[in-house]
Amino acid sequence: MEDTSFAIHPGNKKQIEGSPFHDIGNIISFSSTEKGFSVECEQAAVEIVFYSDEIVRIIMNPFEKPSFKTSFGVIAEPDEVKVSSEEHDGAIVLSTSKLVIKIMREPFRLHVFDEEGNEIVRETNKGMGFNEKKEVICYKDMEIDDHFYGFGEKTSFLDKRGEKMTMWNSDVYAPHNPEIDALYESIPYFMALRNGRAYGIFFDNTFKSVFDMKSHTDTYSFWAEGGQLDYYILAGPTPGEVISQYTSLTGRMKLPPKWALGYHQSRYSYESEQEVRELARNFIDKGIPIDAIYLDIHYMDGYRVFTFDKDRFPAPEKLIADLKEAGIHVVPIVDPGVKEDPEYKIYQEGITNDLFCKYMEGNLFFGEVWPGNSAFPDFTNTKVRNWWGKKHKFYTDMGIEGIWNDMNEPAVFNETKTMDVKVMHGNDGDPKTHREMHNLYGLLMGESTYNGMKELLNGNRPFLLTRAGYSGVQRYAAVWTGDNRSFWEHLAMALPMVMNLGVSGVPFTGPDVGGFAHDTTGELLIRWTQFGTFTPYFRNHSALDTVRQEPWAFGEEVEAITKKYIQQRYVWMPYLYTLFNEASKTGSPVLRPLVMEYPNDEHTFNLSDQFLVGENVLVAPILSPSTFHRVVYLPEGNWINYWTEEKIAGGKHVLVEASLDTLPIFIKEGSIIPNGTVKQSTAVTEEKLTLHVYPANEKTECMLYEDDGKTFDYENGKYTETKISCYLEGESLTINMENSNEGFEPAWKEIEFQVHQAEEDLEIILNGNQIGNTHFHPEERKITFTTNKS
């Protein structure tokens, strides 16, 4: 009945729930403590702790003494910070070199300013409080021109002003539409933009929480169903700095193995060894690059994790070894549900050693998932994480180096879609209900899997893909955006989703290319693969009973175009890998919204259908059928069409042609882009580096980062970083290459330079030497020359 108009029957009108808000009231006492500052208010206690000059943590607890313990999302400890404390006009003022916190006394209200005196947080009418349901809540003033980004994995457009979003990890098979306010990931954090300056708020509360940037025109709020109001204010002032500050708290991605950045092929399911071998052969015979093939749930014996079905996959080791020989990694799915089966070793171990989730009364929680009735490891206990991690020896012994974690919200086939919130997690002796720990389940499964795999791989980097997570998920896993559909709307929606995940500190993300559920079409597959070329995570995946969507499934034309863009992925690999390195160092996203680089340009504030890869590569995919042109917004500066070499002045919208085989790409003048070559997989040695130089009349530079792409040796200096700069002065172009670290010897032997937008008589000086042997291409206005590695 809920699916018909009966849902809006007048008799169904819901009472507006209302539980009166209690303000924390006036300040009774204020004192400085070892950790920071304590404020006693009429209705609550507040603690203020500075983590750095730019980051302050506020903890408000109306029910008990505030706890300084953080969630599993946070890995940082507070730094020693010099804070001055003064009293001005009846207000307490706490200042660092980057932040000023002004606290009004009657009632307690917070006003926060950045280093230049711009107000970033203000509480006027309402501030922090709670209600009878023990929900904690706070309100902040919202300016007419405030914009909001981040919030992890959410549907709808880029700017989340006007949205109300819930943080509760949810398995949503259908539909992913603007009404769905909770998906698989919960990242209770946002970056706000006010007058071109950015700040951030991270609400580290793992209960179900809500961010409401919708209900009031001049106020936003966030609240949680339980726990304390525990949040961090991040000073910015640039978007990049906010992300860096947020990831200084929650951690950054470790470099994934390079093969994880290649093209991946999946399907629910490739059901037998024969099917997998045929699939691999097809890719190789057709010369379509591929780095990984996924095994979905059919590889298992009755969906029991850590098993193979002997009939479908009689010799998995051999299959995995043969594929690896061909440059293809096999990535099996591992779900948390362990089949209730007294004759199954994993279940036996879990029961015998007390490793599964239980109620306080001692009885196990069982839920229905793919294997039927199942028990769930209690990942909040270190003992369980270690056990589960070690179990992956089953896979690593077979040569597997990548794992796909799914259903880890955890998803359960019941009314609530998840575990009973009354289940009591052990949490290493500090028991907590599932209501509090739910949003952490995927993160902790990820921690267990990643660390277990790392331990087992003898120095090789593991790859982990996850569906669910909480703040900090980037430390362990790439995130794909779950069960989307083969709808054009879902292709379009994936852009802001991936951009906002990037702003949320998760750089390694992407949707199922082609769409998971529903039937894709050749045209949709082409356009989606074009977008996939630049999504940090690039996997084609589709569901049971949908039409096949391998690159060749729709005939020759579709195959040729999808192949071209999968090849482009490999051409762009040196650039992408350098961006991955940057993300692992600073948290900055590989794929990012334009607003990150142009925060003063209002055209970028809600620009949801185009993005930047790094700082200077602008990509504008086609997102609707039978469409061969589109409007692209080019911000200030000059931009060069990657395909046609046309130079266009930015600061305006332009109409761009995009035939079926064209993904519009624009490079900003003043960029240097390192490219590689087309190859079957990342396992093939890179013979040649190509440097595309787009000169400008000012000095510009780029970095190239290289290492072995496999091990953690880069952590011990075994990498090479090259700074490449160029400067155009009159008819002379100076290019310099300088290694800032030379711990790794790249395989390529020669560099091809392609100088774009060049005149025939352009003089080129490379590292102080004039280059004589250049070749001018008049039609493309391009000069090329090749040098050997010096």
Q: Specify the residue, 135 or 406, whose C-beta has the smaller distance to ligand GLC.
A: 406
Q: State the nearest-atom distance from the C-beta of 546 to ligand GLC, in Å.
A: 11
Touching ligand GLC, residues 708-747 (CB under 6 A): none
* β-pairing verdict for 617-619 and 629-634: unpaired
Helix (H) or strand (E) holding 616: none
Instruction: Give, to the nearest 10 degrees, the angle between helix 488-503 and helix 522-532.
Output: 10
Distance from C-alpha of 176 to C-alpha of 484, rounded to nearest angstrom: 7
- Contacts with ligand GLC: how many residues (CB under 6 A)? 10
Nearer to ligand GLC, 109 or 467 (CB): 467
Among the listed residues 135, 153, 181, 483, the single contact to ligand GLC using CB under 6 A: 483
Measured from the CB of residue 483, what is the shortest distance to ligand GLC in angstroms? 5
**Candidate residues 165, 297, 491, 654; the one interacting with ligand GLC per rule CB under 6 A:** 297
Mark 541-560 with x for binding to ligand GLC (rule: CB under 6 A) and - for no binding: x-------------------
Residues pairing with 61 in the sheet? 45
Q: Which of 183, 239, 707 is nearest to 469 (CA)?
A: 183
Taking CB under 6 A as the criterion, which residues in 320-349 touch ligand GLC?
333
Task: In angstroms, give the least distance from the CB of 327 to ligand GLC.
Answer: 24
Closest CA to 540 of 268, 317, 267: 267
Q: How far apart are CA 292 and CA 268, in angstroms?
A: 15
* Cis before 237 (ω within 30): yes
Query: Which residues on neighbouring strands pair with residue 773, listed in sequence order?
Result: none
**Which residue, among 642, 535, 618, has the nearest Cα to 580 in the 3D structure?**
535
Q: Between 297 and 478, name the residue whose CB sits nearer to ligand GLC.
A: 297
How many CB atoms sit inside 10 A of residue 531's CB? 25
Q: How far is the CB of 516 from ligand GLC (least distance, A)?
A: 6
Q: What token pair was written down for 387?
A: 């056990």
Counting contacts by CB under 6 A, is residue 510 touching ligand GLC?
no
Binding mask 266-285 for ligand GLC (x = CB under 6 A): --x-----------------
| Sign of the torsion formed by the C-alpha atoms of 656, 657, 660 and 665 | negative
The distance of closest approach from Cβ of residue 317 to ligand GLC in the complex, given in angstroms and rounded to an integer, is 23
- Cβ proximity to ligand GLC: between 268 and 376 the closer is 268
Q: Hey, which residues between 46 and 105 contact ligand GLC (CB under 6 A)?
A: none
**Residue 62 to residue 575: CA distance in whole angstroms:** 50
Separation CA 420–CA 350 (nearest Å): 19
Q: 406 or 609, CB closer to ligand GLC?
A: 406
CB of 183 to ligand GLC, least distance (A): 11
69 or 548: whose CB is closer to ligand GLC?
A: 548
Residue closer to ligand GLC by CB (options 172, 765) is: 172
Q: How far is the CB of 281 from ligand GLC (least distance, A)?
A: 23
C-beta neighbour count of 575 within 10 angstroms? 24
Shortest distance, CB of residue 584 to ligand GLC, whole angstroms?
A: 26
Smallest distance from ligand GLC to CB 280, Å? 19
Q: Cα-flanking dihedrals φ and ψ of residue 271, to 5°?
A: -90, -10
Indicate the residue among 126 and 541 with the shorter CB distance to ligand GLC: 541
Task: Output the smallest distance, CB 741 to ligand GLC, in A.
Answer: 39
> Which two structure tokens, joined as six digits, stand for 170?
């949810």
Residues 358-377 that bind ligand GLC (CB under 6 A): none
Q: Tell me the three-class secondary structure of 75-124, residue by residue.
A: CCCCCCCCCEEEEECCEEEEECCCEEEEEECCCCEEEEEECCCCEEEECC
Residue from 153, 291, 406, 550 that binds ligand GLC (CB under 6 A)?
406
CB of 513 to ligand GLC, least distance (A): 12
Task: Identify residues 638-697 at the interface with ligand GLC (CB under 6 A).
Answer: none
Binding of residue 582 to ligand GLC (CB under 6 A): no
Q: Which is nearer to ligand GLC, 174 or 360 (CB)?
A: 174
29 phi and psi angles, rounded to 5 deg = -150, 155
Contacting residues for 151 by C-beta, under 8 A, at least 6 apart = 160, 163, 165, 187, 188, 189, 190, 211, 500, 504
Is 537 one of the binding residues for ligand GLC (CB under 6 A)? no
Beta carbon nearer to ligand GLC, 208 or 541: 541
**Residue 268 or 572 having the CB closest to ligand GLC:** 268
Residue 514 in contact with ligand GLC, rule: CB under 6 A: no
Catalytic residues: 406, 409, 483
CA–CA distance, 616 with 631 (Å, rounded to integer): 19
Q: How many helices (H) and strands (E) does the chain have?
A: 13, 53
Q: Is 153 in the site for ligand GLC (CB under 6 A)?
A: no
Closest to 348 measured CA to CA, from 339, 358, 359? 339
The answer to the question of residue 524 lying near ligand GLC (CB under 6 A) is no
Which residue in the shown chain puts its C-beta closest to ligand GLC?
268
Pick from 114, 296, 582, 686 the residue near ligand GLC by CB under 6 A: 296
Calculate helix-pair angle for 441-456, 382-391, nearest 10 degrees: 50
The Cα 724–Cα 121 span in angstroms is 41
Cα–Cα separations (whole angstroms), residue 349 to 307, 352, 384, 423, 447: 15, 5, 11, 20, 20
Question: Which of 129, 482, 507, 515 is in the footprint of ligand GLC by CB under 6 A?
Answer: 482
Note the residues at the interface with ligand GLC (CB under 6 A).
Answer: 268, 296-297, 333, 406, 467, 482-483, 516, 541
